[in-house]
């Protein structure tokens, strides 16, 4: 484990699990503050430790995971009801629609929290291309990228 300098603001905070922080929707640095100010809207910063959440950009990640692991089984459920029972539309409205809503909406918030906490934990940032104006790496240093 790398030693942190005393001037590092994260030096006084323990390393928290991104999964636990995401499931609890708490600050990935201190574990105390709230991550969201609405259902899926990130707060601007932690009200406890002041961590600025502008680094976080989970983009469509939560929706992708929900589509793959939530929507597909619920669509299969709806298709099974249709093929097995040739159910009228009102039956799908009463069965398939609630199953879809229950498998797709509730996981969005914890998944977004997990992705934001993972970005903080792994210090993820936007990639940059190396241009010819960038200084050359020192001899013997590992290649960047």
DSSP-derived 3-state class of residue 26: strand
- pLDDT per residue over 82-122, tens digit each? 999 999 999 999 999 999 999 999 999 999 999 999 999 99
Q: 26: buried, middle or exposed (CB in 10 Å: 19+, 13-18, 0-12)?
A: buried
Instruction: Give the start-to-end residue ranges of the domains of the chain.
Output: 15-121
On average, the pLDDT of the chain sits at 87
And the tokens for 89?
């539309």
Angle, CA of 38, 73 and 76, to the nearest 5°: 130
Element (H, E) at 80: helix 72-85
Residue 144 pLDDT > 70? no
Q: Evaluate if pTM is beyond 0.85.
A: no
Four-point Cα dihedral 112, 114, 117, 122, nearest 10: -120
C-beta separation of 19 from 114 below 8 A = yes
Confidence of residue 17 (pLDDT cuts 50, 70, 90): very high
Give CA 99 to chain center in angstroms. Answer: 23
Residue 3 pLDDT > 60? no
User: What pLDDT sits at residue 63?
Assistant: 94
* DSSP letters spanning 34-70: BSBSSSSPBPSB-TTT--BGGG---TTHHHHHHIIII
Residue 140 pLDDT > 80? no
């Amino acid at each position: 484990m790398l030693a942190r300098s005393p001037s590092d603001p994260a030096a006084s905070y323990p390393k928290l699990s991104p999964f636990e922080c995401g499931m609890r929707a708490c600050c990935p640095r201190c574990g105390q503050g709230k991550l969201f100010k609405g259902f899926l809207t990130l707060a601007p910063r932690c009200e406890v430790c002041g961590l600025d959440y502008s680094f976080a950009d989970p983009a469509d990640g939560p929706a992708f995971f929900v589509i793959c692991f939530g929507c597909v089984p619920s669509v299969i459920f709806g298709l099974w009801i249709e093929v097995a029972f040739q159910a009228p539309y009102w039956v799908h409205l009463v069965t398939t629609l609630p199953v879809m809503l229950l498998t797709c909406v509730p996981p969005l918030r914890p998944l977004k929290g997990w992705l934001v906490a993972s970005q903080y934990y792994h210090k993820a940032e936007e990639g940059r291309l190396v241009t010819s104006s960038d200084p050359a790496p020192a001899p013997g240093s590992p290649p960047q990228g």
